[in-house]
Amino acid sequence: MAAPMLRWWCLGRRWLLACIDGGSRHGRGAAIGFTSSRKRGQTSVAQQPLITSQKSRKGEHEWAAVVGLEIHAQISSNSKLFSGSRVHFAAPPNSLVSFFDASLPGTLPVLNRRCVEAAVMTGLALNCCINKKSLFDRKHYFYADLPAGYQITQQRLPIAVNGSLAYSVCVGKKPSRVITKTVRIKQIQLEQDSGKSLHDELRSQTLIDLNRAGVGLLEVVLEPDMSCGEEAATAVRELQLILQALGTSRANMAEGQLRVDANVSVHHPGEPLGVRTEVKNLNSAKFLAKAIDSEIERQIHELENGREILNETRSFDYKLGCTMPMRDKEGKQDYRFMPEPNLPPLLLYDTESLPPGADPQQVINIDWIREQLPELPSETRERLIQQYGILPEHSFALLNEVGLLEFFQNVIKETRAEPKKVTSWVLNIFLGFLKQQNLAVNESPVTPSALAELLNLLDRKAISSTAAKQVFEELWRSEGKTPSQIVSEKQLELMQDQEALEQACHTVMEGHPQVVMDVKRGNPRAINKLIGLVRKATLSRADPTAIKEILERKLSP
């Protein structure tokens, strides 16, 4: 008899471990909703150890996974958080470093107004309470890419607290079934980024680039209200869209402008929360989901085999598809937090508390920033559904690809075609070509005007849908030509000569008497074969609907 295999399923916050006779594949079911029983203000992830020596139980063992996130978003600003050094991606190493960034003696921090405004705007968009008074602290740790030996952050009293982030996941076989979930936001704080350590394995040396040192970061701390990698990745993607809509961060994960640390633990329902591990520096939504699910499975496997989970920091090896230990997890005592002596409290105002005669350049008005909030992604999706009658999953697809929504709306402005047809062409044909060529929307050789003109030709039945796809392929290959020119050159117009079409149908019927007999005997597929033969004879220039009408008239008794 084959040895029993272990198998996990993620059901919302519950991971089921079952013994299965035979088989060797691991599978996980789709995530479903679960309501957290913790109250607001409770510790993010409990430090209580899970009892690791479990007694054997009959049937299935239920596991609850708990996932919290710490997200670091680089603020879109021309200069750094506390110095006048420029912020520019991929600049020559150590070319954007001020005396303060290098931590030379006697240099003092000067707070960047733009970074504060970005933090307030982000907090408002995420339903946070904005603290009118916040404080800066020093967080000590010693890395070569942190010249001062400490990071200026906001540990005690951050700029924003107690917010929420709503995100939606598609469940079931029908993508149109969308479930909205909410994760609580513990706090948003301003802090400095560190430099980069570049490891040269060939020369066995580490090089330091301080261009990033001192760049302003927003750290968004999400409470452990998630239960698997899919939920965490979806929440991060929604936050990314919000930051991009606000303009507070470009949030390009490929360029390190959005980095995620995941805190993961597992426990049996009804028992204390397990020991957490932290998976650091995840810079892709895909790898974030894989890293979390991998870590959950690892912890379950360790506990089921009587081993303990260590409170440690781990990294994700995307090649191996698993997490690897990095170092023991530091505690608050290791960081030796202390108030930042060179920065006074950060004071913000609203319309009621604004001092009379205050210089607008010297104060930040929360209410004024609230008035500047743009349309957020959730509002945009709802507008698209209401305005154009598109499906919910299509609204998500239009927003998820950078620049695709703007392309879609520009096509809509210039075409008479129905919005649903435009949506189909943009998401299926246009986006499909982009992904085949690995291109961004702004790199497309087909402009919104060209696609709009093509859809207009299709809408007024000047060309068939098959011909329209041929024209699109030609547009993609040869820039400069219009759809009308391509249609004319390749003679793709639909036949307007009714007599010629009648004759083509008559010729096909005479040449295929057996198919005609099948139609008369009631075979529904036979007429489709005749339609195909007529279209082939007319080089796909005949309208299938018109062909069918002629054939049915000729074949009727």
Residues 239 and 205 in one domain: yes
pLDDT digits (tens, 9 = 90+) for 167-219: 988 776 655 577 899 999 999 999 999 999 988 888 889 999 999 999 999 99
Residue 12 forms part of a structural domain? no
Location of structure tokens 């008899």: 1
Residues 137 and 236 in one domain: yes
Examine the fold and report which residue of 290, 322, 339 is the final residue of a domain before the chain moves on: 339
| The predicted structure's pLDDT at residue 58 | 36
| The predicted structure's pLDDT at residue 557 | 66
The count of domains in the chain is 3
pLDDT at 340 over 70: yes
Flag the least confident range among 112-116, 287-291, 325-329, 367-371.
Answer: 325-329
Q: What is the mean pLDDT of the chain?
A: 85
pLDDT at 25 over 60: no
| The predicted structure's pLDDT at residue 176 | 58
**CB < 8 Å & 24+ apart, contacts of 433-442:** 433/472, 433/476, 434/401, 440/402, 440/403, 441/401, 441/402, 441/403, 441/404, 441/406, 441/407, 442/403
Residues 409 and 515 in one domain: no
Residues 408 and 533 in one domain: no
Flag the least confident range among 340-349, 416-425, 475-484.
Answer: 475-484
Residue 19 forms part of a structural domain? no
Q: How far apart are CA 425 and CA 556, in angstroms?
A: 37
Q: How far apart are CA 180 and CA 548, in angstroms?
A: 46
Q: Which residue has the higher pLDDT, 60 or 268?
A: 268
Q: What is the mean pLDDT of residues 55-61?
A: 45
3-class DSSP state for residue 50? coil
Q: How far apart are CA 213 and CA 441, in angstroms?
A: 32
Residue 53 forms part of a structural domain? no
Examine the fold and report which residue of 309, 339, 369 is the final residue of a domain before the chain moves on: 339
| The predicted structure's pLDDT at residue 333 | 63
Q: Which residue has the higher pLDDT, 127 or 57?
A: 127
Residues 386 and 408 in one domain: yes
pLDDT at 26 over 80: no
Q: What is the mean pLDDT of residues 237-262?
A: 96
pLDDT at 123 over 50: yes
pLDDT digits (tens, 9 = 90+) for 416-471: 999 999 999 999 999 999 999 999 999 999 999 999 999 999 998 888 888 899 99
Residues 319 and 390 in one domain: no
Residue 542 phi/psi, 5-degree rounding, is: -100, 140
Query: Terminus-to-terminus CA distance in the chain, angstroms?
Result: 69
Q: Which residue has the higher pLDDT, 406 or 45?
A: 406
- 110, amino acid identity: V
Quote the DSSP letter at residue 134: E
Residue 332 forms part of a structural domain? yes
Examine the fold and report which residue of 469, 490, 511 is the final residue of a domain before the chain moves on: 490
Rounded to the nearest 10 degrees, the angle between the axes of helix 404-414 and helix 448-459 is: 50
Q: Which residue has the higher pLDDT, 496 or 211?
A: 211
- 253, amino acid identity: M
Residues 233 and 314 in one domain: yes
Most confident range, picked from 174-178, 235-239, 499-503? 235-239
Look up the domain containing 446 and give its range.
377-490
Whether residue 552 contacts residue 507, with contact meaning beta carbons closer than 8 Å, is answered with no
What the block records as the tokens of 19 is 């013994």
Residue 390 forms part of a structural domain? yes
Which pLDDT band holds residue 369 (cuts at 50, 70, 90)? very high
pLDDT at 143 over 90: no
Residues 189 and 276 in one domain: yes
Residue 59 forms part of a structural domain? no
Residue 384 forms part of a structural domain? yes
Q: What is the mean pLDDT of residues 65-93?
A: 96
pTM of the model: 0.81
Residues 478 and 442 in one domain: yes
Residues 381 and 518 in one domain: no
Burial call 334-361: b when 16+ CB within 10 Å, e when fewer: ebebeebeebeebebbeeeebeeeeeee
pLDDT at 382 over 60: yes
| The predicted structure's pLDDT at residue 332 | 56
| The predicted structure's pLDDT at residue 132 | 97
Cα Rg for the chain, rounded, in angstroms? 30
3-class DSSP state for residue 509? helix
| The predicted structure's pLDDT at residue 493 | 84
Q: Which residue has the higher pLDDT, 499 or 337?
A: 337
Give the dihedral sign, CA 275/279/280/285: negative
| The predicted structure's pLDDT at residue 331 | 61
**CB < 8 Å & 24+ apart, contacts of 127-130:** 127/163, 127/164, 127/185, 128/160, 128/161, 128/162, 128/163, 128/185, 128/188, 129/160, 129/161, 129/162, 129/163, 130/159, 130/160, 130/348, 130/366
Residue 99 forms part of a structural domain? yes
Residues 442 and 504 in one domain: no
- The secondary structure of 67-96, three-state, reads EEEEEEEECCCCECCCCCCECCCCCCCCCC
Residues 446 and 480 in one domain: yes
Flag the least confident range among 65-69, 301-305, 461-465, 520-524.
Answer: 520-524
Domain holding 526: CATH number? 1.10.10.410
Whether residue 165 contacts residue 239, with contact meaning beta carbons closer than 8 Å, is answered with yes
Flag the least confident range among 39-43, 350-354, 374-378, 547-551.
Answer: 39-43
